[in-house]
Chain A
Amino acid sequence: MKVCISSTGTTLDSNVDPRFGRCAFFIIYNTDSDTFEYYENESRNTMGGAGIQAAQKALENKVDAVISGSIGPNAFKVFQSSQIKIYTGVSGSIRSAIAQLKNNELTQTAAPNVQSHYGMGR
């Protein structure tokens, strides 16, 4: 399974970024091969719709799940258009988030857990 995680950095010791649309990096982790790649979140500086763009890019990477501290209503709507699993309220290192996912310790989120523009510090 491929998982997209909002991350503050580029390694497994980086932390889960509390913001989805305006996080620094995305880590795409493959739980079958235990390998990962990362990419910079180019959406983070857009004026609006950062979550929408970031969610779309994650889906283009054919991920099966997404993990973040928080996901706003617009990104949530994009994710809901496919059947992927959404986990929010996750913090700590990427490594521990993956471990929690593998141990079925994460609970799927049914609704956005923050308002629009949360990641802009408003």
Chain B
Amino acid sequence: MIISVASGKGGTGKTTVAVALAKSISYCQFIDYDVEAPNADLFLKPDIKHINNITIKQPYFLTGLGKSFKACSDFCHYNAVAAIDNKVIFFSELCHGCGGCILVGPEGSVRERDIKIGEIRKGFCPPGINFLMGDLQPGSMRTTAIQNELEKNIDHDNHVIIDCPPGNSCSMVMAVRSSDFCILVTEPTPFGLNDLIISIDVLKNLKIPFGVIVNRFGIGNDEVFKYCRSNNIKILLKIPNDIEIAKYYSQGLSLIDFDSLWKNKFVCIIDEIEKEVSVK
């Protein structure tokens, strides 16, 4: 069973919840899909054993033969190629690596090479968490290319916990799309509710069942609860707004380390989700 942990609003506690889930069941695969800012490793402290470079193909242009590369420039949907007279100015960060410029450009004058855009790292956290994370290189915008590599490494025979990137755009869709169930973490504030509603819309479109965990319970107002009640959305758990929990977090410790009572709560949530998923 694959459980993703997502949130429209950033900083609501996705990693807190995902790490607590993984530590509660002890044996699972954990994947940090937030490749632009991965941080679950700070809490799970995996022993990284393998690092794979992720590359994409990018063109380079053999200028100097007096040939025009205007066809490449005209073709490129992302305006990554500017061709002026016989010169080419290539904007690497705009290139999506489609290879079109090689096909339409002067024969043999546009070649391809591998450009590193980031890494995926594999490790282990005792007693039984297989850890996987993606890390996009600063400056690269190819978030989903790294996530594609993570997706290929999903262990479908085990429980999998996916820590998603914040927001509701492509990178979030990539992270949740393989999951059997998505836990949406929110906070009881107007901002939290606004982004929760957007996330719910995305999940409904993807036909992924979901439940809500409210973090920092005690702040804000009760609109999130009212919304969930009137829309028949299950609230799986409330985590109180507690300075002691924050202190543990700041030291790289999880909810489970804070109080082992949380472990039972998360095990129960997983049982509950498993029942719901198996019915469908």
Q: Do A and B form a real pair?
A: yes
B94 contacts A48, C-beta separation under 8 Å: yes
Asked whether B191 is an interface residue with its Cβ less than 8 Å from the other chain, the reply is no
Which one of B5-13, B74-82, B167-175 contacts A? B74-82
* Chain A interface helix/strand/loop/mixed: helix
B83 contacts A74, C-beta separation under 8 Å: no
How many residue pairs link A and B with beta carbons under 8 A? The number is 39
**Chain B interface residue bracket vs A:** 10 to 19
Asked whether A27 is an interface residue with its Cβ less than 8 Å from the other chain, the reply is no
A56 contacts B73, C-beta separation under 8 Å: yes
Which one of A3-11, A28-36, A75-83 contacts B? A75-83
Interface string of B63-106 (1 = CB under 8 A from A): 00000000001000011101111010101001000000000000
Chain B residues within 8 Å of A89, by CB: none
Asked whether A49 is an interface residue with its Cβ less than 8 Å from the other chain, the reply is yes
CB distance from B203 to the nearest CB of A (A): 26
A82 to B83, CA, bound (A): 11
Interface string of A47-63 (1 = CB under 8 A from B): 11110110110011000
Query: Contacts A46-B79, A78-B82 known; A52 to B91 CB distance under 8 Å?
Result: yes
A56 contacts B91, C-beta separation under 8 Å: no
* Chain B interface helix/strand/loop/mixed: mixed
In the complex, residue of chain A having the shortest beta-carbon distance to the beta carbon of B83: A56
A81 to B79, CA, bound (A): 16
**Chain A interface residue bracket vs B:** 10 to 19
A105 to B98, CA, bound (A): 46
CB distance from A80 to the nearest CB of B (A): 9
Which interface residue of B73, B82, B84, B87 has the most chain A CB atoms within 10 A? Answer: B82
Query: Contacts A52-B91, A74-B91, A77-B89 known; A82 to B79 CB distance under 8 Å?
Result: no
B84 contacts A81, C-beta separation under 8 Å: yes
Query: Contacts A48-B94, A52-B91, A74-B91 known; A59 to B84 CB distance under 8 Å?
Result: yes
A–B complex contacts, Cβ < 8 Å, 15 sampled: A43-B79, A48-B79, A48-B94, A49-B80, A49-B91, A49-B94, A50-B79, A52-B79, A52-B89, A56-B73, A56-B82, A59-B84, A77-B91, A78-B82, A81-B84
